[in-house]
Structure 1
Amino acid sequence: MTVIERRIYQVGEVNAYLRSLLEADPLLNDLWVRGEISNYKRHSSGHLYFTLKDERGRLRCVMFRSRGRGLSFLPSDGMRVLARGYVSIYERDGLCQFYVEELTPDGQGALYQAFCQLKERLQQEGLFAPEHKKDIPLLPRRVGVITSPTGAAWRDLITVIRRRFPEMPVVLAPSAVQGEDAPGEICSALQALNKREDIDVVIVGRGGGSLEELWAFNTVEVARAIFCSRIPVVSAVGHETDHTISDLVADLRAPTPSAAAEMVVPLRKELERKVCQCQERMTRCIHQKLQGAQDDICSYSVKNLGALLYRNAFIHKQEVGHYNSRLLQRAQLTGEDASMKVKAQAGKLEALSPLRVLERGYSICIDAVSGELIQDSGMVSKGDQVSVILRKGSLDCEVKGTKEETAWSSSKI
């Protein structure tokens, strides 16, 4: 009986054998491939990873940094290219890859061309202008989200929001995010959220995908709906390397849905910390003001207080002296005016005084008993006693007779 020895190979040996077969094949060792770029990513190491596709299949590709450094253009999803390289196996993962050594444009895919045309048109219309961008509120009352309720983007969004601010209200407006119905549903969801008065910001987006899968966010109807939104809109479509028309029109672009949640919703603990810091600063300022006022009061010693009182007393003394001088001056003027008035009245009285009449040679006759002034001869009778007052002295007389008229009073003038 013949014993056949079986050789058991290691996985690495199999992969190494396959690699040697592929690299030994003259066709696969140096060939050109035409296709459309999809899932393009530039690694932090500088290597380029993407997929070449056409209507019949897909081919995983890698272009090392040393080769990619010499590219005269920037590869992107949807771009049609010609790639030269070789096919081999990445032994560690057992992946068959096309190692690209040369890459040149070969025209652009229909979708990418449509993207560029719409981008140029909307830019000329001013939909991307910075002056139309609305500010994102620091602390929104409620956040609106437009995405698929079954997608990973919704789960990522709500997880980040609940972690940052557990009490933040979130309103989901469900919508398809790819396919023919997606643009209309996105627009309807955005219009519905704009009718509410309690939503301060809207996040619209989805997870990553190919240019075809993200195409709903490159349509003109979605772009205009975002531009006309009363509420600020944050676009969070795809991964960091994905760019859409929605990103350009929106008030803020987030590289991923999770990043959008972090941009829109603040950390509650951070807000509380800032509030506490403000309270502490305000308390310190108040204490400093009070302490400063107290120090100012204490700095006025008894000596300073006496000097202050002396200065105040001196100032008041000057004011009192000034008012006293004005009062004396006013009193003097008032006295002089009154004296002049008295003199004027005295002059008038003196002119009418009987003494002045007597000085001119006249006399006054009065009844010796009653003292009544005798103005008419009929007031006395023969034998009555009268007194005649002269300029100097007086005469005691007895009436010998009376006459009704005197010679001078009856004369004709």
Structure 2
Amino acid sequence: MKLKTMSVTDLNVYIKRNFDHDFILNNLTVMGEISNFKAHSSGHFYFSLKDESAKVNCVMFRTEASKLEIRPKDGMKVVIKGRVSVYPKEGSYQLYASMMEEVGLGEIYLEFERNKEKLHNEGLFRDEIKKEIPRYPEKVAVITSSTGAAVQDIINVSRRRNGTVSLTVFPTLVQGDEARLSLTAAIQKVNLHKKYDVIILARGGGSYEDLSCFNDLDLAYAIRKSKIPVVTGIGHEVDFTIADFVADYRCATPSQAAEVVIPSLSEMVREYHEYQARLKGSYQMRLRFEKARVESLMQALSKNNPKIIIANGYLEIDRKRNQLDGIIIQKLSREKERLASGYSLLKAHNPLNILDKGYALVYDGEGVLVKEAETLDHLDRIRIRLKDGERTLEVHNHGKEESDL
């Protein structure tokens, strides 16, 4: 019997019909750990349920999701009740959850929390111990998978921003238990070279368990002990690992890490011209300032020139001399007037003025004024003063004469 040739749609619909009529698949309970959880804006939940060996894609529609008393998140261990069916358009099966209960935190999430608390208590997350990212690196070491999209994204960003920066890729595993040792060894190897300015530790997107190797304690210690600054770009924007907390700078994606580390050549040229213009404007302003200062000093110097000071001194001397001459003349005039007044007063009271009337003054040889006639009896010589002069006379006594005058 020849079977009818089926289309892809017919095949997926047939498989879906068989899934939908299976008693177990339509009423089952599954326990596992949530990973890669996304809450869509429509209200639907999309996530994976995994154990140590496998995982299954799951969806919980808005109606059931709104009834949950818990908030699902990566690493949460849950029991889910629901059914398994096929999505014909994609040809994939998934678990449609109708109920969810928390059992406990998954082992990966527990490891993350334990290591996070330990390193936080040791002070490895403190901002003050983190190294500064160089602004203009010349050599950049990239630690990531050599075949993943992350390395290509970093190379593309680097070429677009600045082709002069040298990139050296140190290939490592970025998933699984072996990746822990591989990543740690790569950090240590880059530090041995001592020629790189910065390290980019990167990996593209992945599930929560895919990124678990970046939660390793040894890797965290290697990042902190690195003498070279480490920038992480691991997973997506919402993904955080221990390496992100310990790193000197955390970026959401590998491309963003390259944007942060690799300086834009065009921006550098623009800054160069801007600084050049600012420097030119600065020294021109300084020249104008210094020129104005020199001119001000020249004016001050010209005002304080010794020749001008001496010339002004001569003028001041002449002014003072004229002023002094005026004062002296006034003083002499006042003294002359005072002297003339005194002379007139003295002349008015001068006893010698009486001589102008014919009287005379008689003095003995000692210059003592003779006031009585008897004194003449004892003198041999006298001095007579008249109005126009003096004469010395000898005295001859002839006796006392009486007069009726």
TM-score, normalising length from structure 1? 0.63
Indicate the SS of the match to 1:140: coil
Q: Choose from 125, 130, 143 the match for 2:127.
A: 130
1:312 Cα deviation after fit: 4.9
Range with bigger deviation, 319-328 or 94-103:
319-328
Indicate the SS of the match to 2:150: helix
Q: Which amino acid aligns with 1:59?
A: V
Q: Choose from 160, 165, 168 the match for 2:165.
A: 168
Q: Which amino acid aligns with 2:75?
A: G
Indicate the SS of the match to 2:58: strand
Deviations 1:245-284 (A, max 9, x none): 1111111122222221122112212222232333345556
1:168 Cα deviation after fit: 0.7
Asked if the contact 2:138/2:165 (under 8 Å) is kept, the reply is yes
* Structure 2 residue 159 is matched with structure 1 residue 158: no
Asked if the contact 2:15/2:86 (under 8 Å) is kept, the reply is yes
Deviations 1:13-61 (A, max 9, x none): 5544554554455654454321122333455655432221235643211
Indicate the SS of the match to 1:98: strand
* Structure 2 residue 190 is matched with structure 1 residue 193: yes
* Structure 2 residue 155 is matched with structure 1 residue 145: no
The total of aligned residue pairs comes to 315
Residue 229 (structure 1) aligns with = 226
Deviations 1:43-93 (A, max 9, x none): 565543222123564321123455545655554443321123333332322
Indicate the SS of the match to 1:166: coil
Q: Which amino acid aligns with 2:107?
A: A
* Structure 1 residues 25 and 326: alpha-carbon distance in aligned structure 2, compared to 1, 3 A threshold: farther
* Structure 1 residues 317 and 214: alpha-carbon distance in aligned structure 2, compared to 1, 3 A threshold: closer
Q: Choose from 55, 59, 63 the match for 2:60.
A: 63
Residue 255 (structure 1) aligns with = 252
Residue 341 (structure 1) aligns with = none
* Structure 1 residues 127 and 314: alpha-carbon distance in aligned structure 2, compared to 1, 3 A threshold: closer
Asked if the contact 2:35/2:209 (under 8 Å) is kept, the reply is no
Distance 2:53 2:220 in 1: 32
* Structure 2 stretches lacking a partner, 5+ long: 293-298, 321-405
Asked if the contact 1:147/1:175 (under 8 Å) is kept, the reply is yes
Asked if the contact 1:41/1:241 (under 8 Å) is kept, the reply is no
Residue 203 (structure 2) aligns with = 206
Residue 106 (structure 1) aligns with = 103
Q: Which amino acid aligns with 1:163?
A: R
Indicate the SS of the match to 1:36: strand
1:324 Cα deviation after fit: 6.8
Asked if the contact 1:32/1:85 (under 8 Å) is kept, the reply is yes
1:233 Cα deviation after fit: 0.6
Distance 1:222 1:61 in 2: 32
Range with bigger deviation, 131-140 or 120-129:
131-140
Asked if the contact 1:190/1:225 (under 8 Å) is kept, the reply is yes
Range with bigger deviation, 316-325 or 273-282:
316-325
* Structure 2 residue 115 is matched with structure 1 residue 118: yes
Q: How do 1:20-39 residues align onto structure 2 when only pairs under 5 Å count?
A: 22-23=19-20, 27-39=24-36
Distance 2:199 2:82 in 1: 46
Q: Percent of aligned pairs with the same residue?
A: 41
Q: Choose from 199, 216, 238 the match for 1:219.
A: 216
Distance 1:237 1:187 in 2: 15
Distance 2:69 2:318 in 1: 102
Deviations 1:112-159 (A, max 9, x none): 222211111111111112222222222212111222334433333223
Q: Choose from 40, 44, 51 the match for 2:48.
A: 51
* Structure 1 residues 113 and 199: alpha-carbon distance in aligned structure 2, compared to 1, 3 A threshold: same
Q: Choose from 233, 236, 243 the match for 1:239.
A: 236
Q: Which amino acid aligns with 1:155?
A: Q
1:202 Cα deviation after fit: 0.6
* Structure 1 residues 45 and 170: alpha-carbon distance in aligned structure 2, compared to 1, 3 A threshold: farther
* Structure 1 residues 198 and 327: alpha-carbon distance in aligned structure 2, compared to 1, 3 A threshold: farther
Indicate the SS of the match to 1:157: helix
Indicate the SS of the match to 1:145: strand
Indicate the SS of the match to 1:155: helix
Indicate the SS of the match to 1:92: coil
Distance 1:187 1:96 in 2: 38
Q: Which amino acid aligns with 2:267?
A: E
* Structure 1 stretches lacking a partner, 5+ long: 297-307, 330-413
Asked if the contact 1:141/1:198 (under 8 Å) is kept, the reply is no
Q: Which amino acid aligns with 2:195?
A: D
